[in-house]
Amino acid sequence: MNKTLGEIKLKFGITPSPYFWGDFQRFVEWCMKVEEMGFDAILIPDHYQFPVPPFYSNELVDAWTTLSYISAKTSRIKLGSLVSPIPRYIPSQLAKLIANVDLLSKGRVIAGFGVGYSPEEFINYSPTHSFDEPKILFEKFKEGVEIILKLWKEDKVTFKGKYYTLNDAVLLPKPLQRPRPPLWIGGVGRQMLEVAAKFFDCWVPPIVPSRITTLHTLQSTEQYEKRVRIIQEYLKRFRRKISDFTFGALLRFASESDVEREAIDIIERYKKAGSQYFVIEFSPNQIKEYMKLTEKFARGVVPSFR
């Protein structure tokens, strides 16, 4: 794997901590700065309630309306969610939201999709006001992906699934990107890996390089590389080119010292395991520190992989 992927130029995206939402103007300034620093994408968490380690914060903004606003303040950087839980939405509505942001941003959207895992969010904000068992969530997620792709591609869509029904649904205007915006996914279970290979363009699982803990993470390069190989086998089965698929990783760092001690070594190890794209997240609860860490990473780490 080293020989196959070792020469690929790495790309870096960044995802903002939920603590940012206390000062929205500073957040906008940060987004503009991130573009100037040369990051490839800003990927916003799509949560309405988020009582999950390490953040425990419910001070959150809506991902897609915020991305629409940020698209007017930037010109080059890609914009997306990491990730939007499809079963919390009406899938056709989510397809429309993303298509609209892709138009407003002149084709810069990344559509990050997931299953969802926060009961509070689903009970309070989903159309059914309930949180389903994992099997049902996955089935809704898969049906939702199929609906979204059909709406972006076809003139009229009739769909009769187990959970969703459409009757001559029309979505216009279509997304600006052709054949569609890139799809990203972050699950680590085998079913999610199969769906990733069948429908998606990039896999970005969360991994834990430092003291931060979170749900659904990979904690070793061996675990990561094993799943890379599983996806590659599924890609072959679905007759898709491995070279057209991107293997990524979400890296979380807790402090400046973690970036200084760990970042370059960890990125190098995951690059050797197959990763071509790294989404960076920091956890400090002060915007000043967040800005400082972003600059430190952009100037002290990214140039090592150019």
Phi then psi for residue 69, to 5 deg, are: -65, -45
* Number of compact structural domains in the chain: 1
pLDDT digits (tens, 9 = 90+) for 7-51: 568 999 999 876 555 678 888 999 999 999 999 999 999 988 765
Distance CA 89, CA 249 (A): 25
Which domain range does residue 54 map to?
A: 2-305
Could you give the C-alpha distances from 176 to 44, 94, 181, 215, 217, in angstroms and in order?
20, 16, 8, 34, 33
Each residue's pLDDT tens digit in the chain (306 positions)? 443 444 568 999 999 876 555 678 888 999 999 999 999 999 999 988 765 555 556 778 899 999 999 999 999 999 999 999 999 999 999 999 999 999 999 999 999 999 998 898 999 999 999 999 999 999 999 999 999 999 999 999 999 999 999 999 999 999 999 999 999 999 899 999 999 999 999 999 988 654 444 444 677 899 999 999 999 999 999 999 999 999 999 998 877 888 888 899 999 999 999 999 999 998 766 667 888 899 999 999 999 998
The gap between the terminal CA atoms of the chain, to the nearest Å, is: 20
Q: What is the pTM assigned to this prediction?
A: 0.92
For position 255, which CATH number holds?
3.20.20.30
Sign of CA dihedral 216, 217, 223, 228: positive
